Amino acid sequence: MDDVKIGEILLPGDDYTQDRREKQVRAKFWPTLKRAVKFVPFSRDLVAAYYCAVDPKTPTRVRGVLLAALAYFVLPFDLIPDMFVMVGFTDDVAVLAAALRMVQGHIADRHYDAADQMLTDNPDVGKAPA
């Protein structure tokens, strides 16, 4: 997967695109994370990115980049299908890592605190917090 392709995936999109992605991410993030947690070496960062993406205080462009990466993670149509368990999440990891690098200054302590709380309260990682 080259940088040009990742760059295309991480385009923030317009308001309609961001709204659509946010609905997809909210609906599918937790079950996908539960399946992928063994293959994503930075699960805490990923959960913090989720909280940053759904935080209305996060700048629109940052939300757009994170929602694009998270939508790629949760949607079944990507370059390497996730059903190929060991390699299926490698492209997702590359996209997520690139997104995290792009917005690292915007994922705040409150997002990491929420991630830590969720991971502590939900060791099975699949349940969305109440």
Distance CA 90, CA 88 (A): 6
Q: Is residue 1 packed enough to be buried (19+ CB in 10 Å), middle (13-18) or exposed (0-12)?
A: middle
Q: From the first residue on, what is the mean pLDDT of each consecutive set of 10 residues in the chain (130 residues)?
A: 68 91 94 81 92 96 96 71 52 87 95 94 59
Q: pTM (2 decimals)?
A: 0.81
pLDDT of residue 114: 97
Among 96, 15, 9, smallest CA distance to 48 is for: 96
Q: Which amino acid is at 8?
A: E
pLDDT of residue 4: 46
